[in-house]
Amino acid sequence: MKNIALFFVLTLFCHVLHSQESAPLWPEGKAPYALPVDAETGSPRLILYPTRGDAGHSGAAVVVCPGGGYGGLAKDHEGHQIAAWFTEQGVSAFVLHYRLGSEGHHYPAQLADVQRAIRWVRAHADDYALDPARVAVMGFSAGGHLASMAATLFDEKAYEASDAIDEQSARPDLAILCYPVISLDPAISHGGSRKNLLGPDRNGDEALVRKLSSENNVTENTPPTFLFQTDADTVVPAENATRFYLALREKKIPAEFHVYQNGPHGVGLTLGDPVLGTWPGLLSRWLRANFFFAPAQPRVAVRGEVTLDGHPVSAGVLTFFPEDNKLPVTSVRVRRGKFSAKAGVGPFVGKATVHFEGSIWEATGAEEDNLVRLEELTPGDGKAVKVELTEDSGPISLEYRSR
């Protein structure tokens, strides 16, 4: 199994090796806060992983901010590997090599870089066949702090406009924060990230510390956010992500927060771990549910009745899989043989395949009726349950047989 997993990972990464072209973030001579060292490091830059022309191209894009404590860049496991994972799902990835405190760059240079990166992607939407309304930002560790600033300080004027690119919005449509530095509060912050971001002259500036602690900057305009963290992380403790999640919840921003018991800081994808390696799949499902892989489509109201072996289903669920597999699936609960969903939360207009899970144990008392899963009305008939939904669809009646 280990060899199979290794082969999969190598195949995944080799798929995008040809795509490592790069582009300067700013026009020559117009980068704000420029230092002589920038000519040596070649930063700030975007490393490009476009999917235009690929069979699975979705039109979505993500700006990836590797971690490194604002003193370095984890370009491999929090950059290149992440881009490879996204391109396999038809998402164009743009890995941001932002400027670092270790090279003399401090706030607001990093905020300027991430704002410019998001604007750059939108400005080049036609070049890469992208939807400018589906641009996400993702960050790891200190890169997670940078991504959280992008999600909360997108209206801050971090630099003077230099060209037409800066007319684009810097607000990401979704944010993905992985074991992120969020707060500069010394009680929970990563000290190195704080020092590198603020610089030695402003490390004790409490007003700036409060301003750049992202939990303080969440508003009603902060985009939906996915957070991933481990409880065992002692470098950037879970209180960082937790504070941000609670701030999102207070402002009623849609959010999903996953905390794993085990795992050190900086785990990256961790595809080979049977537990930690599940988080990318959770992210993929969240992205699908938030219309990242495909633009949002109209939903319709549905209602009807469900029986199993002649009995009304006491408790169950119908799951509608749209014909376009880039759209999210929709699950509708069944209670006492009936189901319904309003238009805002129902399945999508068009054809869908329906899967069933339910119980009639209360009616029969038979253990085999406790939980039944079916993809056909009758097991073995080879006919998937398909429906075509319109705004005028009438009640749906489904009569399942388990034997």
Q: What confidence tens digit (pLDDT) does each residue in 85-144 have? A: 999 999 999 999 999 999 999 999 999 999 999 999 999 999 999 999 999 999 999 999
Please provide the average confidence, as pLDDT, over all residues in the chain.
94
Q: Residues 265-291: what's their mean pLDDT?
A: 97
At 392 the pLDDT is 86
Same-domain status, 281 and 310: no
Same-domain status, 315 and 279: no
**Total structural domains in the chain?**
2
Name which of 5-19, 142-156, 180-194 the model is least confident about: 5-19
Residues contacting residue 62 through CB under 8 Å, at least 6 positions apart:
86, 91, 92, 93, 94, 135, 136, 137, 138, 176
Question: Does residue 295 belong to any structural domain of this protein?
Answer: no
Which tokens go with 299? 């939903």
Q: What confidence tens digit (pLDDT) does each residue in 176-230 have? A: 999 999 999 999 999 999 999 999 999 889 999 999 999 999 999 999 999 999 9
Report the alpha-carbon distance of residue 163 to residue 172 in Å, rounded: 20
Neighbours of 337 (CB within 10 A): 18
Question: Does residue 345 belong to any structural domain of this protein?
Answer: yes
How does DSSP assign 117-150, residue by residue?
A: HHHHHHHTHHHHT--TT-EEEEEETHHHHHHHHH
Which tokens go with 53? 């022309």
Instruction: Tell me which of 289, 310, 327 is where a domain ends.
Output: 289
Question: Does residue 297 belong to any structural domain of this protein?
Answer: no
CA distances from 174 to 40, 139, 226 (A): 33, 12, 8
Report the alpha-carbon distance of residue 98 to residue 113 in Å, rounded: 6
Report the alpha-carbon distance of residue 364 to residue 382 in Å, rounded: 27
For tokens 């009807």, what's the residue?
304
Question: Does residue 46 belong to any structural domain of this protein?
Answer: yes
Name which of 12-26, 61-75, 125-139 the model is least confident about: 12-26
At 46 the pLDDT is 98
**Residue 361, domain CATH:** 2.60.40
At 403 the pLDDT is 85
Q: What confidence tens digit (pLDDT) does each residue in 368-382 have? A: 999 999 999 999 889
139 forms beta bridges with: 65, 177
Instruction: Tell me which of 289, 311, 340 is where a domain ends.
Output: 289
**Do the beta carbons of residue 276 and residue 231 sit within 8 Å?**
no
At 20 the pLDDT is 81
- The rounded Cα 271 to chain-centroid distance in angstroms is 17
Same-domain status, 168 and 192: yes
Question: Does residue 294 belong to any structural domain of this protein?
Answer: no
Q: What is the pTM of this model?
A: 0.93
Question: Does residue 219 belong to any structural domain of this protein?
Answer: yes
**Do the beta carbons of residue 238 and residue 258 sit within 8 Å?**
no
Q: Residues 351-356: what's their mean pLDDT?
A: 98
Q: What confidence tens digit (pLDDT) does each residue in 27-47 have? A: 999 999 999 999 888 889 999
Instruction: Fill in the amino acid letter for 84.
Output: A
Same-domain status, 250 and 377: no
How does DSSP assign 250-284, residue by residue?
A: HTT--EEEEEESS--S--TT-TTSTTGGGHHHHHH
Burial of 307 from C-beta contacts in 10 A (0-12 / 13-18 / 19+): middle
Q: What confidence tens digit (pLDDT) does each residue in 154-185 have? A: 999 999 999 999 999 999 999 999 999 999 99
The SS3 assignment for 399 reads strand
8 pLDDT more than 90: no
Report the alpha-carbon distance of residue 333 to residue 327 in Å, rounded: 19
Q: How, if at all, do strands 302-308 and 255-260 pair?
A: unpaired
259 pLDDT more than 50: yes
Please tell me what DSSP assigns to residue 103.
Answer: G
Please tell me what DSSP assigns to residue 236.
Answer: S
Same-domain status, 101 and 238: yes
Q: Residues 4-20: what's their mean pLDDT?
A: 48
At 2 the pLDDT is 43
What is the extent of the structural domain holding 133? 2-289
Instruction: Fill in the amino acid letter for 150.
Output: A
Name which of 11-25, 52-66, 73-87, 269-283 the model is least confident about: 11-25
CA distances from 251 to 174, 247, 271, 365 (A): 16, 6, 33, 46
